[in-house]
Amino acid sequence: MITRQAPSATTAGGAAAPAVLLAEVSRQFGEVRALDRVSFAVEDGEFFAMLGPSGSGKTTCLRLIAGFETPDQGTIQIHGRPMAAVPPYDRNVNTVFQDYALFPHMSVLDNVAYGLMVKGVGRAERHRRAGAMLELVALAGLEARRPAALSGGQRQRVALARALVNEPEVLLLDEPLGALDLKLRQQMQTELKALQRKVGITFIYVTHDQEEALGMSDRLAVFNAGRIQQIGTPRVVYEQPATAFVASFVGAANILSAEQAEALTGQRQSCALRPERIRLNGAAPAELQAEGTVLDVQYHGASTRLRVALDAGPELLVDCPSEREPAAPGARVSLGWPRSALQPLSPETPG
């Protein structure tokens, strides 16, 4: 019932319009430029993450798509339809709020059936559909409870069911797992991803957790200071970060300035080097090598992270598998890495 066909909305050219299209969208709050000429397109059925630190504009972007804010400049289209004058309740888009925003005076079933009720769906029909949706999110049996009598994880599922029961064209999720503890968050990540595949609805997912964004999304946009730094698949964003911000926000990275890179590699080009790409006292000869002294050792379970001061100047983080007894602080080590591990960076905010 909730599996949707490809949308019929098409552009003049005949190709399917993207589910969501933002073109040169800006939004100002007083002195603060929350979004600065942001453009991107989300394909139908895609799991699209918006990743960034707090205040980077990702939530503003979500609220613009939902219709709670209006852009100062630029246009937003949903399935090819301009959204300029369309209020939130006329957009076929639903939101899972960060604080869930469940109606405290209604039962779980009535919360889920709310969207159907205000659209005039009959009582029996809306309760049947809400019940089916609660079953989908594994909450059958809790229909009569009030939200206050649910755990955090259960509330999260109710919020999800309440949004999905309306069969939106796009589901917006605003840090939906932020309030859950780590174990539950990891479990819900898997479930959300499975759910998205099952219902085939476009998900736009806001998070500040890079692990969440990498693990769940088909593509992600990295936000900083109101601008998009990079858009790409998780693999591309992680392995070919476009800017120093992306390299250090998504995973750990050693950022080498142009001067530092020249001393190590001979090429005057600032670049990023992932700690796990560096080999310690490598058996096989590496393309690039450097000597240094271990400053600090941190045991992380599966891997151990060393901080090494190179003789050539910069400090590098090095991740090595924990199975080997690692070097102690003060030890001399030689580091090696392939040339391909160096990812050249462009200056901040390309374009």
Q: Which is nearer to another protein, 155 or 274 (by Cβ)?
A: 155
Q: How far is the CB of 157 from another protein (least distance, A)?
A: 12
Q: Which is nearer to another protein, 164 or 255 (by Cβ)?
A: 164
The answer to whether 306 and 317 are in contact (CB under 8 A) is yes
Strand pairing class (219-224; 47-51): parallel
Q: How far is the CB of 65 from another protein (least distance, A)?
A: 11
94 interacts with another protein by CB under 8 A:
yes
Q: Which of 53, 87, 329, 344 binds another protein (CB under 8 A)?
A: 87
Q: Which is nearer to another protein, 105 or 332 (by Cβ)?
A: 105
Task: With CB under 8 A as the rule, give the number of residues binding another protein.
Answer: 32
Q: Which amino acid is at 324?
A: R
118 interacts with another protein by CB under 8 A:
yes
Compute the distance between CA of residue 277 and CA of residue 307 in angstroms, rounded to an integer.
Answer: 14
* 3-class SS of residue 69: coil
Q: How far is the CB of 213 from another protein (least distance, A)?
A: 22
Q: Interaction with another protein in 119-148: which residues (CB under 8 A)?
A: 119, 147-148
Compute the distance between CA of residue 243 and CA of residue 344 in angstroms, rounded to an integer.
Answer: 8
Compute the distance between CA of residue 305 and CA of residue 145 in angstroms, rounded to an integer.
Answer: 48
Dig out the tokens for 172 from the structure.
């917006």
Q: Which is nearer to another protein, 178 or 215 (by Cβ)?
A: 178
Q: Which of 52, 57, 71, 115 binds another protein (CB under 8 A)?
A: 115
Q: Which of 105, 123, 197, 339 binds another protein (CB under 8 A)?
A: 105
Q: Which stretch binds another protein (CB under 8 A): 116-124, 266-274, 313-321, 336-344?
A: 116-124
Q: Which is nearer to another protein, 162 or 305 (by Cβ)?
A: 162
163 interacts with another protein by CB under 8 A:
yes
Q: Which of 122, 141, 152, 338 binds another protein (CB under 8 A)?
A: 152
117 interacts with another protein by CB under 8 A:
yes
* 3-class SS of residue 188: helix
Q: Which of 29, 68, 197, 315 binds another protein (CB under 8 A)?
A: 68
Q: Which of 102, 133, 250, 264 binds another protein (CB under 8 A)?
A: 102
**Which residues, listed in sequence order, are joined to residue 38 by a DSSP beta bridge?**
25
89 interacts with another protein by CB under 8 A:
yes
**Residue 142 burial by Cβ neighbours in a 10 Å radius (0-12, 13-18, 19+):** middle
Compute the distance between CA of residue 193 and CA of residue 202 in angstroms, rounded to an integer.
Answer: 11
The answer to whether 212 and 49 are in contact (CB under 8 A) is yes
Beta-sheet strands, E only, within the chain = 20-29, 32-42, 47-51, 73-78, 81-82, 93-96, 170-174, 202-207, 219-224, 227-232, 254-256, 271-273, 279-280, 288-299, 303-310, 315-321, 332-337, 342-344
The answer to whether 270 and 244 are in contact (CB under 8 A) is yes
Q: Which of 47, 48, 100, 205 binds another protein (CB under 8 A)?
A: 100
101 interacts with another protein by CB under 8 A:
yes
Compute the distance between CA of residue 83 and CA of residue 64 in angstroms, rounded to an integer.
Answer: 10
159 interacts with another protein by CB under 8 A:
yes
203 interacts with another protein by CB under 8 A:
no
Q: Which is nearer to another protein, 23 or 106 (by Cβ)?
A: 106
Residues at the site binding another protein, with contacts judged by CB under 8 A: 66-68, 87-89, 93-95, 97-105, 114-115, 117-119, 147-148, 152, 155, 159, 162-163, 166, 179
